[in-house]
Amino acid sequence: MRDITGCVAMISGANRGIGEAIAAALHADGWALSLGARDVASLEASAAGYRTDVAGDGDATGRADRGPAVTLHRYDATDPEAAERWTAETIAAHGRIDCLVNNAGVAHPDDFEELTESTLDEMWEVNAKGPFRMLRATLDHLRGSGEGRIVNVISMSGKRVRGTFAPGYAMSKHAAMALHHSVRHLTFPDGIRCTAVCPGYVQTDMTADFGVDPSIMIQADDLAQALATILRLPNTASVAELLVTTEPETIA
């Protein structure tokens, strides 16, 4: 296992759900964090136990003794300027970026007959173009790390199509998976290791109305612990995809 002391991770959609759980697990492991969310007030609430600094509000490294430094940033995946802005703020506050976690996402479970172009566009913008822009903005900094890490929180819906369920979401997540593997090959020689996190149903706000029994769902904290372990692995042990399911799955 490698020593991640002093390493900095950016996490999008860190104010709730899987992103909030990943932030907690990485913070406990000693990562400094740059957390992004549309609503910084909700981010402040979820990060209340950390040594935090709102972007531009002072020195992230100079606060009281509550673990590694955590900075909070406004990030809306539908804003084309947001990725560059958040990246610049992170460098200004922390001086480096060692890990990017593309977690922010939206899911509309509409079937083919219900799916509108505007709904499809929203999922494309947040689930596929958002990670694309974040990767473009951060890549040089991740290369500079020497042991950079990229995590794309995708879904089992990026691996297979489940009958007629949520075709637009599956389209956007398959696109994210294509981006993931392309960037994984591109950056491997630079010492960057990329992991796609592909869960089945996770018990978060996203799945609250899916009509699935919550007691069979994955817990976000369990998923986050698995990812935190992967992020401590050295460059010689790369996990390209982490498939976590609540039932046997056929990938087809």
Residues that bind ligand NAP (CB under 6 A): 12-13, 15-19, 37-39, 75-78, 103-107, 126, 153, 155, 199, 201-202, 204-207
Length of the chain: 252
Q: Do residues 10 and 27 touch, judged by C-beta distance below 8 A? A: no
CB of 251 to ligand NAP, least distance (A): 15
* DSSP 3-state of 142: helix
Is residue 169 flagged as an active site residue?
yes
Distance from C-alpha of 11 to C-alpha of 102, rounded to nearest angstrom: 6
CB of 4 to ligand NAP, least distance (A): 22
Q: Do residues 94 and 74 touch, judged by C-beta distance below 8 A? A: no
Judged by beta carbon, residue 39 or residue 57, the one nearer ligand NAP is 39
CB of 45 to ligand NAP, least distance (A): 11
CB of 212 to ligand NAP, least distance (A): 9
Q: Do residues 250 and 50 touch, judged by C-beta distance below 8 A? A: no
- The CA distances from residue 16 to 169, 195, 204, 225, in Å, are 20, 21, 8, 16
Distance from C-alpha of 94 to C-alpha of 73, rounded to nearest angstrom: 13
* DSSP 3-state of 70: strand
Nearest to 5 by CA among 33, 30, 34, 38: 30
Report residue 161 as tokens: 């199509």
